[in-house]
Structures are given as structure tokens and as C-alpha cells.
Structure 1
Amino acid sequence: MRLTRPPTIRQFGQLQIAPEVQILDLDVPTSRGAHNDVCLSRGSLDKILSDMVMVVPCKDEALGIIRGVIAAIPAPCVVLLVSNCRRGRGEGDVEDQYTQLVDLARTFGTYGRQVLTIHQKDPAAAAALHDAGMSALLVDPLPTTTTATGDDTKQPMVIRNGKGEGMVLGIAVAAAFCPGKRYIGFVDADNFNPCSVTEYCRAFAAGFAMSRAAPEQEDTVVRLKWSSKPKIRNGRFDYVSEGRCSQVVNAWLNRLFVLFSGEQDNKRDSTTTGTTKPLITTGNAGEHAMTMALAKKLRLAAGYAIEPFHFVDLLVRGDMISQGPRDDDGVDCTPSLLPLDRPVVVRQIRTLSPHYHRDSDDEHIRSMWAAGLGCIYHGVARSQQDGSDSGARLCRDMLAYAVRHDGVDKATGKLPCPRVYPPVQTMSVARFRDGLALSLGKGSENGQTTVDLEMCSVFAWTEFDGEPDVNESPRPLASCDYQHMHR
């Protein structure tokens, strides 16, 4: 792959941000670059991809779309599907898409692909998270219900809804069942152009390959900016360079980094960045990857705040923003934060491929940028104990913008304060792994059939030589030894 040479990296304490670079060639026969570009060999990228888990959060996307995404992920990667789709529960109910998703994983497994699936509402996963010390991710059990025989039945705990919550689960599963992997990436499931997914994965590898130090000495985040988001207008494609949500979130993130750079901030209510090329162009990057060590260290925000919150948490952990007291209307389940123990470099890469996905209405876009601004607003607000005029002004301007564009919570009049979950490293990954593995093979439980329990399991496939025996006792997984897992 050939890319433009990275410009000078900007330093913010332990956090270092590299301005955007652009992919020039997807494949080149040489590793010798010119003075203004960088060439990376196919072998170097494949080596990194073989060390990567690719998480695909999915909900109710068409099975054919998800199939295309899996097919486009390079074969050396482990694929982890974290689904929160609706479950069919009997005759006349909706078709059980998750059962189909597991069958799809099995099909890929027959050809040597490593594909795991887990459902976000799997009670076994919730119980394992609770036992491992990650109860913040769970919804309290529903009130006790009375069965037809008069017996009281307590409903099992479940993991909360939300993209961020699914990604926390994905990191936990990857850390537990793929402990030798050094990188983890995330790609959205609603991608109508599968070939672009291949580019995204190789771009992740390129970002890691450009790192100056090994993952044990320097953490890296790779965030992708699509070349465009095509829209059909008047019967023609309009190649929009930046999405509606990204325009808002990127602009305010850039103002945040101006605050910490010591530069003059002369903007008040503008979502434009002027003539100067912006530092942050990937505030809402759904396609991103990072070293596994960093993924386990970061706090993660709920829902659509998860991607922009990466920047806020890195600033906090890099000692650029003080943690401060917890907001009364916010939830931060982390009692204390450890500072970054080594540098973190954020690399931003612009792709060649345009990104085609399902369109969202204005209300959905508004909720997305409001979640992004909310994590910036409340993150900066916590640091204003010293009476910083520039920080206070940024918060005032951001709130005023949100009020004018209907982005505030109507009940509080404030930007939404995201729920923030503790890092995966604060839980016992070994206990989570053992708890989930022990739940396999139990047969009928909690009124569910054996088949249903099987469909709620984590599946790891490299070879598939026949139907799994549901009566066989579960076997523990050795490190990176992908065996059949079933109940």
C-alpha cells in the first residue's frame, strides 16, 4: 500500500495525533517510497492482519449485507460478530436472524475462516460479565414474574442495548478467547460496498505498520475517514466529502484541541474550520482499530458517543483534562483512572473507496451528534474547576449551538451526558472466559431449548467436520486454539 507521508505529529502530553494521510495505491510492488509518500509491503500488512481481531457490531442488517462484510475481511483476521438483532421465539414470531447468523458463521468456518458470534442479550454472557466485575454493563433484572403454576421466576440479567455496549462486549470476548492477538478493529455491518471493507482492514494494518515502536512500547489508534459518502440527488450521485454528523463533531473536537494547543480560538457558533486544515477529521469514525492493550485500558461511552469519547478519555488519561468530580446527571462507573503508561499515537487515514450505507433521517443524525457533543461538553466541564475562561467559553458556545439546533435533552436543557463504562482491564478477563465456557453444554435451562442455548453461544470455527454433538462436555479453549464451542 502507498500512502502520503505523515505530516508532523502534534503532541498533547502522552497523546500524539498525526494529521490525516491519504491512501494513494492499494497495492504496490515495492516498499521504497519517495520523499512525500510511504510504501508498505503486502507481507508486512498480512503479518499485522494475522494478529488482529475484527469486531463487527450488527443489529438488524440484512443477512446478505453482513455476509458481504464478513467475506471482505481478510482471511488472516479473526472475525467477531456481536449481534443485537431481534430473536424469534416460536411459531408466528419473527424469523430468528441470529440463528441464521450462526449458520452463516458455520458456513465460513467450513473454509477455514475464524468466525465467532455472540448475541448481546445472551444471559450467559451477562452472568459471566457480572461474575467478572463488569456489572455496570448490565441492566438490572426485570421484576419477578409468576408462572402459570404459581412459581416466582426472576428474569436473568442482560447487557444494555447500544452500540458502545456491544463494543465493550466485543473487546471482552476478544481479550478472553483471543489472548494472543495484539490488535483489534471495528467495522460497521451496514456497508453496501463489501470491497471497501477489505480496504479498511488493510488501512488499519498500514496505520500500525507506520508506528515507530512495537505495540508493547507504544499504543496506536487508527481511525478512518471515508473518501466520500455518496448521496443520490436529482438522479445523480453527489459525492459528499463529510457526513452531517461528522461535520458537527469534528468541528467541535478541533476547537477542543485548539484549547489545549494554546492557539487562539476565535469561533463561537461555527461548524466550519476555516482555511486551516483541521487536525481531527475522524471524530465519528465507526471504522477504527487500536492495539489490544489500549482497547483494554480505555473507558468506553455508551451508544453513539463511543467514537468521539476516545479523544476525551485519551486527554483525561494523558493528564490534559483533570477527571474532576462526577456530574450529578452523568454516570461514570470508574472509581479511579490510571494515567497512560506509554505514548498513544492516533493515526487518521483517508480511504480511496466511498462508503455506501443506509441513510439516516435528520432526527437520528441529531441524536448522534448530540451524543458526541455531550461527551465533549461534560468532559471539558469537569476540568473547569480552575475557572479557565477558554474552556468555559467553549462549553457555553457548544451548549448554545445545541440549543439552537434542538440537540439538548428537553428535560434538563443540557447536552446528554453519556454513560461511561470502566475499562475492560478492570474486570477479571479469566473469570469472564471461564464463566462463559462453563455455561456451555448445560442443555435446557431457564425455559430455553437446547437449540436456543446453542444459538446464544460464542462460536469459534477454524475447521468444521460435521454437526457438533450437543451431548459432548464443553472443552476449554487453549490460547488462540479455536475449537468448536457449543452448549
Structure 2
Amino acid sequence: MRIESLRPAEHLGNVTIHGVRRFLELDSGAPSLPHLQESREVEMVDQQAISDVEKKMAIILPIKDEDLKVFEGVLSGIPHDCLMIVISNSSKQEVDNFKNEKDIVSRFCRITHRQAIVVHQKNPELAGAIADAGYPELLGKDGLIRSGKAEGMILGIILTMFSGREYVGFIDTDNYIPGAVWEYAKHFATGFNLAQSPYSMVRVLWKYKPKLVGDLYFKRWGRVSEVTNKHLNHLISSKGKFETEIIKTGNAGEHAMSIELAKRLTYGTGYAVETKEIMSILEQFSGILPIEDREVAEEGVEILQTETINPHLHEDKGGDHLIQDMLLPSLAVIYHSPLADESVKKKIENQLAGIEGLENNPEIPQVKLIPPPQKMDLAKFSAVIEKYLPQMVLPDGELISRIARPSRLPSSGQFKKVIYTDLDGTLLSPLTYSYSTALDALRLLKDKELPLVFCSAKTMGEQDLYRNELGIKDPFITENGGAIFIPKDYFRLPFAYDRVAGNYLVIELGMSYKDIRHILKKALAEACTEIENSERAGNIFITSFGDMSVEDVSRLTDLNLKQAELAKQREYSETVHIEGDKRSTNIVLNHIQQNGLEYSFGGRFYEVTGGNDKGKAIKVLNELFRLNFGNIHTFGLGDSENDYSMLETVDSPILVQRPGNKWHKMRLRNPSYVRGVGPEGFSRAVTDIILPME
């Protein structure tokens, strides 16, 4: 794809709205040779980059009693790697249109070797799962999902979250031009490649929207969009000193979002949905109103607008539909927004007063709002809906890819073994940090496809270094349970997480490093004052990794400079080194606890945390393993008191020996003891775990 280079943009706090960019070439060929430079006016996104996004994208296809031939054409335009999710609200009475739609999709999927999710908006099982998951705002008085465009779109977002896709796009099924459908999906993928933020939206502007009025007439844009855009732009202009016309896609039915953005937005019912998406972004993230989601604020939100080459040709549903169902709700969500000042409201009132049929209606009705989909408990939804998947996935009975029950799922009565291990003193030598004597055991685990989860005081960077060296692809727990890092696409079913870090989805359990440092500074100052005023306490020296250089950490820990640098990159804990008599040390530790922090001793250093818990992290991760793999049996390998919560939580705790060939004494339920210090003990433990499988 070749697209115009960046156009002017408007910035409202943390929200960036990009001007419309025209597509110049729909197929730009293979990547250009290095010596062939693109024009400054052109930006190219190669086919591989577009394909990579399409594999992570679901396309929602809402349909309600549309022409089936037109529907078939729309299906043919969806890129092969996109997951199709058909949300139907069609008649199931004398003529079962929904059955006909399912038959068409099933035949299409069989011929093209792909899959789709097809559901009816009034499906009682879906409604039950949504109710159980705590999202009743989507349901009507009859307990079923309400009719309406917005409700169908939100259902599509939920199913996209369930499928594990990262992007969700919306394409209407009344489009007469399959090539336009194909182009929309390419716009979505191109836009996400160009976006800098994980919280992004791509909105498509039709270059022409032709109408059949005698001869075919190509009209630039639509009537409702022109009016909605005018008032959106006036609202944005009212927040600054300069007038703008940046918004051109206020009613863009063809649009897409990253799922991280989609699940955070508030939606307006019916045809107010597209305009409300823009308003929700401005209300939640621009900073004009108080911001609650700091993570989104740090990354920012981007709205990208692109102009098509293909025209958009669809059935004309009449003027009354445009005014009552589309224009009035669109302007209502602007009018009733807390961002709208009196000038914005007055312009909308004047606009509606000039429209035939609305001029004598003084009230602008409130649009019903639906809270963000992330309010829903996705794990509960997944647990309920799992058994109904064969009815929803087409072709019938062919559950494949990320939607399918994975082939590695144990059959009834079997269980999958999951191994949690400490690093220092267990997998790694307590003296040299070497894992060489454990390499054969690690190969055995890989051959048996058993997950090996690092659960250590080490940072994300430290653990990732060892995982890359050893070729381990499983989740891992950092900083004594401060966070769980899960590789994207590792689990089949989606789950709630707090942030994205590179290729990982992160579940955060502990207090942030910044807050820990602030509280720790206060606690240490209080402790030092008490020690100075105590006649019985002796001298004490306290230092932490945050106050030390990389070279100092290297000398103190015997880590090389690279490892020392990674050890300093703490996110949920602080490493503290204390030198002093027992009484003075206890005074320091008491003040740490009195200030609401916790500590653990790893043999050389104290790890100070706020809410971190290896055991809690393991419980969270175990639920994800069970949800995706069925029955599991967990093993925990450790060597010190710092591993107690891990060993207490797993089904089978195993202790390896410490230097001096002794085991650390701790009260555990049915612990096993293996001979060997560090990686030698690790190897024997792995052999004992695997032998029953032979």
C-alpha cells in the first residue's frame, strides 16, 4: 500500500486526530530495494506488515435481512487471514433468514478453507453468558441482547476479545462492491501499522457514495456525515483558539479499533455508536475531564482517517431513516456530552430546528449509554460460552485455530503438569549463576512440552535474558510475584491484563517501583533516627539498587555488567543491602513493615515489595492454565524461605539443597527433598517429575 505521508493533526491533550490521508496505490508490490527511496509525499506499508495485522484482526459483519447475494459478495471481500464474526439480527420466523445466512457462510468457509463465528443477536446462550459475566447493560427486559446496531457491535467486540484477536474492524453487509470491502480491511491494517499508540482507531472516509437516481450519480460524502462532522469540529474548536475541520468521519460505519481501545470506550445505542466512539475518546482521554486510566494517558490515543479509492454503493434506506435513526442520535451524544458548552449546544439546536419534522421538537433526547466492555468478567463469559462453540463456529464441527479446543488439551481424567521454579539457588548456581548442569533436564521438559514458569525475585529483563538463551516460551513471574508476563497468543482464550509490554501481556499485582521507593525512603529515615537514639543498637549500613551504579551492583552481586544493568531495572520491588548487627537490622525491617511494605530475604539481599506474592501470582496463572488446558498438576522447585509462598501454593513442593548440602527448613504440606545444590538438584527434580510419564 502507498498512502499519503502524514497530514496535519489536531492534539487534544492525550488524543491525536490525524487528518484524512488518501490511498495512492492499493498494491505497492514487494518491499522496495534499499537504494530506491520513497517520495517525501508518500509512505509505503508492505504486504507482509499488512498481513501480520490481518492475522490478528477480526472483522465484524452485522446483518439484518440483507440481500443474500450482496452478503455473499461481502464475504468474498474479507481478506483470508481475518477472522469473520457475523452478528445477525435477521428474521427467524416464516422464512428463516438466519439459517440461510449460516448456510452461506458455512459453504463459503468450506470452499475457502477458513472459519467464522456466526451468532444471532437474540441467542439466549450468549445473553446468559453475558449476564453471568456481569454486563447486564447489554440486555433488554426479556433477558436477551437488545436489538440495535451498537449492541451488535459490542457483541462483536466481546467475541473478538474471546477469540484473542488484537484488532476489531466493522464492515456493513449491504455493500454492493466486494472490492470496496477488501479495501476497507486493507485500510484498517495499514492504519494500525502507521499508529504509534496501542490505543488506536482507523476510520474510513468514502471518496464517493453513489446513489441510484435515474443515472448513477457519485456524490462526495453523505448528508448525515457532513452535519455530524461540522458539529464535532465545532466542539473541538471550542476547546482551543483555532477553528478546525479535522474530523471527516463522524459517522464512519467502516472503522476499526485496537481491542485495547475498544474495550475501554463507552458506547451510545443505535446509530449514535460511531459518533459516541469519538466523543468517548475525547471525554475519557483528552484530559479536558479528569483521566482515570493513566496507562492510556501515557501512551495516548490516535484516531487515523483514510480516504478510499473504491466508492461505497449500498441500498438507500430513505430520508426518515437518516434523520430519525442516524442524525438525531449522532447530534444528541454531542449535545449531552459534558464537553459541550453553550455555543456547541446552541448550534445543534439551530441545526435541528431547521430540519423538517424536527423544528417543533424542543427536546433533544438523551441516548442510552453502554459502559465499556472491559467491565465484563471475560473469564466467566468464556467458561459459559465454551460449550456452545460448536453451534457458533463454521464450518459445522470444525473447531480450528485459536477458537478451537487445542489439540494438547488433556482428555477427561488426564492432567497437564506445570512446573514453577525459582532461579537463584535452584535453576542457577548460587555461586556462579550457571545453569549448564541443568541443560539436559531443560531439554527433557521441552521434549515433553511441559510449561516451565520462572518465579523469581529477578526482573523482567533478567528473566527474559535467560528465557531467550534457553529457548523457553512460557509465562514468567517477576520480582517475587510483582507481575505475570504472558507471551501474546500463548493462551487460546482471552483474559484480563493491565498493560502490554513488547510481546507480553502483563498482569500487575504489586505496587509500582516509584511508590515503593517513596515509602521506603521514609521508613529508612525513621529507622536510622531510632538507631541513632538507641544505646543498644550498633552501626548499620543500608543501600539499595536504586542508589547504586551498575558497577556497584556488579561488584556487590558478582553479576556481569549486563546482568547488573538488568537487575537495576526494577518495576515492582527494591533490592536492599543491609550490613549491621541483628538488633539494628530488625529495627530497619520493623519500620519497613510499619509503613505498609513487605520484605523477604533471599540469602544475600532483602527484597522490599508492596503487595507482591508469588503464591497469589501462581493462583492467577493456574486459573489461566486450567481454562486453556483443563486439569493441571503443579510442581514448585525452590531452595529458600523466599520461595515459601510458591511452594505452599503448588500441588507438589520440591526443595533442592543449599550450599553445604542442606535443605532449608520450612513447614510445607508433603514436601519432597532432592539431593544436589542449585541446578544439580533442579535436574534430579525434573527427572522425578517426568519419570511417571514414561
By the TM > 0.5 criterion, same fold? yes
Q: Corresponding residue for 1:253?
A: 232
Q: 2:182 aligns with which of 192, 198, 203?
A: 198
CA contact under 8 A between 1:164 and 1:302: conserved in structure 2?
Answer: yes
CA distance in 2, matches of 1:462, 1:109: 10
> Is 1:167 paired with 2:124?
no
Matches within 5 A, 1:216-227: 219-227=199-207
Which stretch of the first structure deviates more once superposed, 310-319 or 296-305? 310-319
Give the aligned partner of residue 66 of structure 1. 71
Contact 1:164–1:303, Cα closer than 8 Å, also in 2: yes
Match of 2:215 in 1: 236
Structure having the higher Rg = 2
Q: Distance in 2 between matches of 1:464 and 1:397?
A: 55
User: Which residue of structure 1 lines up, in the alignment, with residue 354 of structure 2?
Assistant: 404
> Among residues 350, 365, 371, which one is paired with 2:329 in the alignment?
371
- Say if 1:228 and 1:354, in contact at 8 Å, map to a contact too: yes
Partner in structure 2 of residue 212 of structure 1: 196
Q: Cα offset for 1:319?
A: 4.4
| Corresponding position: 1:50 with 2:55 | yes
Is 1:117–1:458's contact at 8 Å kept on the other side of the alignment?
Answer: yes
Post-superposition shift, 1:322?
3.4
Correspondence for 2:364 among 415, 436, 444: 415
- Contact kept in structure 1, 2:15 and 2:286, CA below 8 Å: no
Aligned partner letter, 1:392: E
Q: CA RMSD in A?
A: 2.6
Q: Is the 8 Å Cα contact of residues 283 and 308 (structure 1) preserved in structure 2?
A: yes
Partner of 1:103: 103
Give the Å deviation of 1:251. 0.9
Query: Which position in structure 1 is the counterpart of 2:472?
Result: none
Change (3 A) 1:415 1:159: same
- Quote the Cα distance in structure 1 between the aligned partners of 2:200 and 2:102: 32
Counterpart of 1:427? 376
Note the C-alpha offset of 1:7: 1.3
Q: Which residue of structure 2 lines up, in the alignment, with residue 6 of structure 1?
A: 6
Deviation sequence 1:446-483 (CA, Å, 0-9, x none):
xxxxxxxx8xx422549859xxxxxxxxx99x9559xx
Task: Tell me the distance in 2 between the aligned counterparts of 1:409 and 1:63.
Answer: 39
Q: Is the 8 A contact 1:58 1:81 kept in 2?
A: yes
- 2:172 maps to what in 1? 188
Cα 1:107–1:347 change in 2 (3 A) is: same
2:20 partner letter: E
Distance 1:314 1:459 in 2: 33
Question: For the Cα contact (< 8 Å) 2:14–2:301, is it kept in 1?
Answer: yes
What is aligned with 1:450? none
Structure 2 residue aligned with 1:279? 246
Task: Give the partner amino acid of 1:346.
Answer: I
Work out the CA distance in 1 between the residues paired with 2:256 and 2:357.
29
Q: Name 1:273's counterpart in structure 2.
A: none
| 1:408–1:415 Cα contact (<8 Å) kept | no
Structure 2 residue aligned with 1:147: none
Aligned residues: 398
- Equivalent pair of 1:116/1:461 in contact (CA under 8 Å): no
How many percent of aligned residue pairs carry the same amino acid? 30
- The CA distance in 2 between the partners of 1:435 and 1:290, in whole Å, is 26
SS at match of 1:261: coil
Query: More displaced, 161-170 or 235-244?
Result: 235-244
| Pair 1:394-2:344 in alignment | yes
Letter in 1 for 2:193: A
- Shift, 1:33, TM fit: 2.5
Q: Secondary structure at the match of 2:3?
A: strand
3-state SS, counterpart of residue 121 of structure 1: coil
C-alpha separation between the residues in 2 aligned to 1:288 and 1:462?
Answer: 29
SS at match of 1:229: coil
Deviations 1:345-388 (A, max 9, x none): 10000000000000021111112111100000001xx346xxxx
The letter for the 2-side match of 1:194 is P
Q: Are 1:138 and 2:139 counterparts? A: yes
For residues 67-90 of structure 1, the C-alpha deviation after alignment (integer angstroms, 9 at most, x for no partner) is: 1111110000000000000112xx
Structure richer in helix, relative to its length:
2
Q: TM-score, normalised by structure 2?
A: 0.55
TM-score, length-normalised on structure 1? 0.77
In 2 relative to 1, CA 250–354 (structure 1 residues): closer, same or farther, beyond 3 Å? same
Q: Which residue type is aligned with residue 232 of structure 1?
A: L
1:459 and 2:393 are equivalent in the alignment:
yes
Q: Distance in 1 between matches of 2:292 and 2:374?
A: 11
Q: For the residues of structure 1 that align with 2:139 and 2:240, how far apart are their CA atoms?
A: 38
Whether the 8 Å CA contact 2:13–2:288 is kept in 1: the answer is no
> 1:113 deviation in Å?
1.2
In structure 2, C-alpha distance between the alignment counterparts of 1:84 and 1:113, rounded to whole Å: 23
Kindly indicate whether the alpha-carbon contact (under 8 Å) linking 1:106 and 1:464 is maintained by their aligned counterparts in 2. no
**Corresponding residue for residue 386 of structure 2:** 437
SS in 2 for 1:282: coil
Q: Is the 8 A contact 1:128 1:432 kept in 2?
A: yes
Matched residue, 1:76: 81
- Deviation, 1:321, is 4.5
What amino acid does structure 2 have at the position aligned with 1:96? D
Give the distance between the partners of 2:364 and 2:383, measured in 1 at CA. 40
Higher relative contact order (Cα pairs below 8 Å, separated by 6+ residues): 1
Counterpart Cα distance in 1 of 2:261 and 2:115: 23
1:263-302 deviation line (CA, Å, top 9, x unaligned) = 25xxxxxxxxxxx7x2000000000001111111111110
